[in-house]
Structures are given as structure tokens and as C-alpha cells.
Amino acid sequence: MNMEVKVFSTPTCPYCRQLKEFLNSNKVNFTDVDVSKDTKAREYVVEKTNQMGVPVLEADGKFVVGFDREKVAKLLKIKL
């Protein structure tokens, strides 16, 4: 799989940790973006999703807000 995957998260978010653990366990390479420190990234996510919550996963220009295992698996073609 050659799509770029980004996870927009904060250090204190338990669902962010779960999402990253899920991606790691399925050997998905991703870039972790800390929106508590990166104002531009936070504004980008709000603009794209109209949401303030984390985690937000972006892959191939598509977004999944929150840790929705089924949606993430479908988007990244991970077999559950």
C-alpha cells in the first residue's frame, strides 16, 4: 500500500493511542501530527472535517474522525 497516512492526535487522547496501536499492529506506516502543538495542522483538520475532536486519520484525501476500527480498516484495506 503506497498511500500516505497521517494521524492527527494529542498526547493525552486514549483513542489516539488506540488508533496508533491498531495501525502499528497492522504494519501501516503513518505520520503522527500533534495538533496540540501544531496550530496549522489543527486548523487544517477543522477546515477539512468540521470537527474539533481527535484522532483524525487522513489517507488518500479521505478522513476518518475518531477511532472507528471498521472505517479505518476499510479505507486502508486491512482485513479484520
CATH of the domain at 13: 3.40.30.10
* Model confidence, pTM: 0.94
> What is the amino acid identity at position 72?
V
Can you give the pLDDT at residue 16? 98
Question: What is the rounded distance in angstroms from the CA atom of residue 77 to the CA atom of residue 47?
Answer: 26
Q: Where are the alpha helices (DSSP H) in the chain?
A: 14-25, 39-49, 69-76
Q: Helix, strand, or coil here: 50?
A: coil
SS3 assignment, position 8: strand
By residue range, what is the domain housing residue 57?
5-76
Grid coordinates in use for 47?
A: 477546515
Domain total in the chain: 1
Per-residue pLDDT tens digits for 6-49: 999 999 999 999 999 999 999 999 999 999 999 999 999 999 99
Is the pLDDT assigned to residue 78 strictly greater than 90? yes
Instruction: Give the pLDDT of residue 3.
Output: 84
Q: How would residue 1 be classed by pLDDT, with cut points 50, 70 and 90?
A: low
- Could you tell me which residues are beta bridge partners of residue 31? 6
